[in-house]
Amino acid sequence: MRYLITGGAGFLGSHLVERLLLDGHNVICLDNFYTGTKDNLRNFIQNDQLEVIRGDVTEPFSFEVDAIMNLACPASPVHYQRFPVETTRTSVLGALNSLDLARKLDIPVFQASTSEVYGDPTVSPQNETYWGNVNPIGIRSCYDEGKRAAETLYMDYNRQYGTKIRIARIFNTYGPRMSVNDGRVVSNFIVQALQNQPITIYGDGSQTRSFCYVTDLIDAFVRMMKLEGSLVGPINLGNPSEFTILQLAEKIIELTGSRSPIEFELLPSDDPKQRKPDISLASSALGWKPSVELNEGLTKTIEYFKEKISKAN
């Protein structure tokens, strides 16, 4: 097949591109390189089955492809809070342009949504029937509401036009190719620990997250694109094993052998207190569950950042 991956030079996008190439597919990577980098593609950029194009999903685009997977959007608070208007535009216009091309070609289109559509949840674990608890005017709303609007568009295109959609709600994911300065908790803690800097925890560290290793997530993406029938999502994708932020910091200090102290700062506005996916639907519909345990995934991620920091110095 010939796939179009928007945001294909990003953290998740590059892993998806790599997996599809390994599976023998042709891939067009469309990216404006705001948060993605060509360095993420360097191991396979010479592959004849890959075409890399600089472009922005907020502008209409057209390619002859068999499937579209829309991953274009800043996903870390540092990036989307710096340019909130552009983030909402990317979510909404990127969804519209992806859907219009999929409708025109009569092909399946995948939307990378997020657990942030649940906001600061009042139930745990979160399943797909939960409507969420989102602040529509807060500092995170550009991302949260942008992704919620994208889901609305996908469902309405499916109902009104019969467009073949797939919606994945992605919970915290980590692994190689995360950016050093993207502000996500795993990369922050690892970079601080490797440099023996204080590890910064916002709040008291009791808030929880569930961490999924990137190859597990990409496997779920591939399985979703093979879905037949009326199931279009949304489907929660993540690791249901729940850890406090303090437990994560202590684990990373242990795995790196760091001398970093832990420092506590004020919790940012609207920061969710809990994240734990109910993956019953993913398990039954996709035959999927994560296989990489946190210690194994963190060890691989730490090795990646060791090399990256070493090269930078």
Q: What does the pLDDT look like over 248-270, one tens digit per residue?
A: 999 999 999 999 999 998 877 76
Res 166 pLDDT > 70: yes
The DSSP H or E segment spanning 13 is helix 11-22
CATH code, domain with 54: 3.40.50.720
Question: What's the pLDDT band for 30 if we cut at 50, 70, 90?
Answer: very high
- Mean pLDDT across 32-49: 93
| Measured CA angle at 313 (ends 215, 199), to 5 deg | 65
How many CB atoms within 10 Å of residue 151?
21
Say what the pLDDT of residue 270 is. Answer: 65
Q: How far apart are CA 35 and CA 212, in angstroms?
A: 21
Query: What are the phi and psi torsion angles at 292 (to 5°)?
Result: -95, 115
Q: Is residue 256 part of a domain?
A: no
- Cβ within 8 Å of residue 286, ≥6 positions away: 220, 223, 224, 227, 235
Q: Is residue 311 part of a domain?
A: no
Range of the domain at 233: 2-174+211-240+277-291
Q: Is residue 248 part of a domain?
A: no
- Cβ within 8 Å of residue 166, ≥6 positions away: 108, 109, 110, 111, 224, 225, 227, 232, 233
Structural tokens at position 305 = 């950042």
- The residue whose two tokens read 């990369």 is 187
- The residue whose two tokens read 């569950």 is 289
Q: Is residue 232 part of a domain?
A: yes
- Mean pLDDT across 4-25: 97
Half-sphere exposure for 111 (CA within 13 Å, toward CB): 36
As for how many domains the chain has, the answer is 1
Q: Is residue 118 part of a domain?
A: yes
Q: Is residue 66 part of a domain?
A: yes
Q: How far apart are CA 182 and CA 196, in angstroms?
A: 19
Q: Is residue 201 part of a domain?
A: no
Q: Is residue 305 part of a domain?
A: no
How many CB atoms within 10 Å of residue 95?
26
Catalytic residues: 143
The 3-state DSSP class for residue 176 equals coil
Res 83 pLDDT > 70: yes
3-state DSSP of 200-217: EEECCCCCEEECEEHHHH
The whole-model pTM stands at 0.94
